[in-house]
Amino acid sequence: MFFIIALVIFANVEVNGLVLKQVVILSRHNIRAPLTDNLEELSENIWPKWKTEAAHLTPKGALLEGYMGEFFLNWLQEEKLFNESCPSSVHIYANAPQRTRATAEAFVNSVFKNCSIKVNYKENVTSDPVFHPVFQNDIAAFKEMVILDMQKSLDELELNDSYQLINNIIDIETSKLCKIKSFCDMTKRKDDIIFEINEEPNVYGPLSLGNTIVDVFLMSLYQGHNIEDIAWGKIRSPAEWKTLTRITKENQNVRFKNPSFCGHLAKPLLDYMKNLFLNDTAPKLTGLFGHDSNLNAVMCSLGFKPYELPRQYEGTPIGGKIVFQKWHSNVTGNDLLKIDYVYPSVGQLRFSTKFWDEESPQQVTMELEKCKIDKHGFCSWSDFVKILHSLDVNVLSTTTRLISDEA
């Protein structure tokens, strides 16, 4: 069966003498309704109505997350990570918004049916500080550095073809954005940088507005809306989708993947993950359910090498998971790290493909700059530990330098 072949690829069981000891999954939530239903300013065209509340996980998103959970269940069983069907060494932790909590619940209920494994999350908060990549440094020199580096990233963007395509799709010259705010051409406006303590890095301008628009189109595509209802039928080819989604990728790059401050943004989540990786009594399986901003800030901080995700338009796809695996070699006695990006393709999302019916989820083996992988995708766990220990040093040295500059 194709599914068994997929498991062999994912688990790398052709490498003799390896035993899976620990898995930490960093996941983006699954399909949600658009983040806002207040889109009338952006186009006079009639926007499709969603049955699901804005920013909430859709029923289809929960269904697809369940499919992903069943795939992981089979892999975990194949690798014998657990000896029991309802293991105790499992920890599931989600950010507070409904879409992340509901994604975690769909995943764990699929992997561990009838086991009553709890999804942990903080109540009565809009966003859990562990998952919230915000500025917490009010040193003036830090703010200046961030703004300069974000501006440099903005200046280097080459998105005019993407912005022009947006202009045409939304009929921007007839929009309230143009009539009331004189914002009549995405290619002619610049982004303003927004820096606020306890808030995420942000911009306002063509990048942010374009990101909002493309996000609606993407979620409609994944949700399975009629093709004529997605962008009013004006996206005609995969090439145009790739042109548009360059906006969403660059929005994430500018805000969360800048090497000078991504470590600052990711620190609460990375501290949490470090405790899992460095603690011998940590759960065998941990699922952390957050957002694309979490995945991007963590990847930037740990020094992931550039990567491509076949059959996807996004850099951090809906429902995608970065799977950190600790393996032990019975041959050498050493521990090894393997990192895979496991994610659904655009087609699997749109057509609700059950992974074992036709094909497995997509998988790309990832590599860290300072942890060289072998031909099977493994690198030394001790090198990974060195990276983890260097994280606090990097953040501390930046802060110390900035304080010194102000003195």
pLDDT tops 70 at residue 260: yes
Q: Which one of 128, 191, 215, 292 is the catalytic residue? A: 292
> What pLDDT is attached to residue 162?
98
Contact, 166 vs 186, CB < 8 A? yes
pLDDT tops 80 at residue 216: yes
Give the residue from 88, 114, 89, 98 showing the smallest Cα distance to 24: 89
Report residue 313's pLDDT band, with 50, 70 and 90 as the boundaries: very high
> What pLDDT is attached to residue 395?
54
> 254 pairs with which residues across the strands?
none
Contact, 194 vs 143, CB < 8 A? no
Instruction: Summarize pLDDT for 46-60 with one digit per residue, the tens.
Output: 998 999 999 999 999
pLDDT tops 60 at residue 398: no
> What pLDDT is attached to residue 5?
34
> 27 pairs with which residues across the strands?
289, 321
Q: Which one of 29, 132, 264, 291 is the catalytic residue? A: 29
> What pLDDT is attached to residue 354?
78
> What pLDDT is attached to residue 393?
58
Q: Please, what is the average pLDDT of the chain? A: 93
Write the single-letter amino acid at 98. Answer: Q
Place of tokens 């926007």: 47
Place of tokens 């969360």: 256
Report residue 307's pLDDT band, with 50, 70 and 90 as the boundaries: very high
Instruction: Summarize pLDDT for 234-247 with one digit per residue, the tens.
Output: 999 999 999 999 99
pLDDT tops 70 at residue 400: no
> What pLDDT is attached to residue 80?
96
Is 271 a known active-site residue? no
- Span of 101-110, 152-161, 276-285, 396-405 with lowest mean pLDDT: 396-405
Q: Please give the structure tokens belonging to residue 306.
A: 């550039």
**Alpha-carbon span 256 to 272, nearest angstrom:** 18
> What pLDDT is attached to residue 38?
87
pLDDT tops 60 at residue 11: no
| pTM, to two decimals | 0.93
Report residue 15's pLDDT band, with 50, 70 and 90 as the boundaries: low
Distances (CA, A) of 390 to 14, 31, 383, 386: 33, 35, 11, 6
Residue 83 backbone class (left: φ over 0; alpha: ψ -120 to 50; beta: rest): alpha
> What pLDDT is attached to residue 371?
98
What mean pLDDT do residues 315-344 have?
A: 97
Instruction: Summarize pLDDT for 32-41 with one digit per residue, the tens.
Output: 999 998 899 9
pLDDT tops 90 at residue 210: yes
pLDDT tops 70 at residue 3: no
pLDDT tops 50 at residue 407: no
> What pLDDT is attached to residue 7?
41
Report residue 78's pLDDT band, with 50, 70 and 90 as the boundaries: very high
Place of tokens 């000896």: 83
The full set of domains in the chain, from first to last, is 140-256 (3.40.50.1240)
Report residue 405's pLDDT band, with 50, 70 and 90 as the boundaries: low
Instruction: Provide the CA 206 distance to its chain's centre, in angstroms.
Output: 22
Higher pLDDT, 42 or 405: 42
What mean pLDDT do residues 169-195 have?
A: 97
Instruction: Summarize pLDDT for 131-181 with one digit per residue, the tens.
Output: 999 999 999 999 999 999 999 999 999 999 999 999 999 999 999 999 999
Report residue 355's pLDDT band, with 50, 70 and 90 as the boundaries: low
Higher pLDDT, 6 or 114: 114
What mean pLDDT do residues 62-86 have?
A: 95
> 323 pairs with which residues across the strands?
25, 340
**Alpha-carbon span 232 to 214, nearest angstrom:** 13
What mean pLDDT do residues 304-310 have?
A: 98
pLDDT tops 90 at residue 13: no
Cβ neighbours of residue 88 closer than 8 Å, sequence gap 6 or more: none
Helix (H) or strand (E) holding 204: strand 202-204
**Alpha-carbon span 123 to 127, nearest angstrom:** 9
pLDDT tops 90 at residue 96: yes
Instruction: Summarize pLDDT for 373-395 with one digit per residue, the tens.
Output: 999 999 999 999 999 999 975 65
Give the residue from 312, 223, 213, 287 showing the smallest Cα distance to 32: 223
Is 392 a known active-site residue? no
- Span of 211-225, 258-272, 354-368 with lowest mean pLDDT: 354-368
**Alpha-carbon span 152 to 327, nearest angstrom:** 40
